[in-house]
Amino acid sequence: MEEKGEKLCEAARIGDVAGVTSLIDAGYDVTYFDADGFTPLMYAAKLGHHEVISKLLEAGAPWNALSPSSLSAGDFAMQNGHQDAFDLLLNTGVQAELILGTIARKEKENSHSDGGYLVDRVSFSEDKLMDADSKAVMMAWEKPLMESHAKAVCSGGGHVLNVGFGMGLVDMAIQQYNPVSHTIIEAHPEVYDRMLRNGWGEKENVKILFGRWQDVLPQLGSYDGIFFDTYGEYYEDMREFHQHLPKLLKPGGIYSFFNGLCGDNAFFHVVYCNIVSLELENLGYTTQLIPLPVKDCLAEEVWEGVKQKYWQLDTYYLPVCQYTDDSE
Ligand SMILES: C[S@@+](CC[C@H](N)C(=O)[O-])C[C@H]1O[C@@H](n2cnc3c(N)ncnc32)[C@H](O)[C@@H]1O
């Protein structure tokens, strides 16, 4: 078994398309991990053998398998500048996740959620908001990002909606633009209490809706700028929020969201940036991803006492979404 796997790794490494094809036909295992923790696909990606990659993927090699240092075949292609190999892996990743998403949505129709994070205690400190499991809900290093999000969603003035208060960083920044109205949705009772204690209930242009965005939808109007950043939810929840954008966002309005999608792996992040842009495009929105360097705000100490390092990339891609009228 091991010998067969080694042979496949070797053929992948040297880019031997005919060799890889005959080994696959002979039933060699494309999901094999060698003693160093690499798959045949990772070797082919490192060296940019895109025909071999294509054969391996067709035979069911896992595009999302991770090496011991948490890198996937796509990361290796990206790091080594193999554009064709990268495109092939990206396309496979996007297609696979789109299909999985459809399956997951079908399954969810039959399941019920138990309240999760929203019924647990949270703790506040100066530089972070943590859940009961020592995972960070929100951290102060994101302040410059939140300021950029606020700038984007306030660029047209008017009425602004923010979903998820957290530490209030984006809301403080939105207030600087003095919008006509500023609606904030927050579902966690302790975060909500803290908002009130800090005077958010008395601000003239602020309207707070306490509850899950899913539940307060009927109380919403339409807005010139919308920002979305919840916690304890999945990509599917944000996707569901996006289905409401045509009602919530005024023509010419700007939508943005916290782009933490797979923030711990560079390649998976690209896959998800593509998926979200595609899905928004299907709803009629164009998405611009504005690169912001974040390396300098992220010293190692930032993560002390935090269970999950949810962001590990050097660049943050700030999404700016707008409706495109094709008839123009
Ligand atoms: C990451 S924090 C938001 C951080 C915020 N952007 C800031 O600048 O500080 C996410 C917030 O969303 C809230 N939240 C989670 N699920 C929600 C839901 N379904 N509806 C509304 N708020 C939700 C959480 O309680 C938390 O306060």
Tell me the per-residue pLDDT of 27-44, one tens digit each, with 9 for 90 and over: 999 999 999 999 999 999
Show the ligand 1 pocket: residues with CB < 6 angstroms: 137-138, 146, 163-170, 185-188, 191, 212-214, 229-233
Do the Cβ atoms of 188 and 168 come closer than 8 Å? no
Q: Do 208 and 70 share a domain, yes or no?
A: no
Å from CA of 191 to ligand 1 middle: 9
Å from CA of 138 to ligand 1 middle: 8
Average predicted confidence (pLDDT) for the chain:
93
The more confident residue out of 180 and 106 is 180
Tell me if 115 is assigned to some domain.
no
**Alpha carbon 186 to chain centroid, angstroms:** 20
Tell me the per-residue pLDDT of 275-286, one tens digit each, with 9 for 90 and over: 999 999 999 999
Q: How far apart are CA 153 and CA 252, in angstroms?
A: 11
Tell me if 41 is assigned to some domain.
yes
Tell me if 228 is assigned to some domain.
yes
Q: Do 292 and 190 share a domain, yes or no?
A: yes
Q: For ligand 1, atom 26, name the residue with the nearest CA.
A: 166
Q: Do 319 and 272 share a domain, yes or no?
A: yes
Q: Do 136 and 278 share a domain, yes or no?
A: yes
Q: How many domains does one find in the chain?
A: 2
- Which residue range is the domain that position 245 belongs to? 120-323
Tell me if 113 is assigned to some domain.
no
Q: Do 214 and 90 share a domain, yes or no?
A: no
Q: Do 124 and 246 share a domain, yes or no?
A: yes
The more confident residue out of 172 and 326 is 172
Give DSSP secondary structure letters for 9-41.
Answer: HHHHHTT-HHHHHHHHHTT--TT---TTS--HH
Tell me if 328 is assigned to some domain.
no
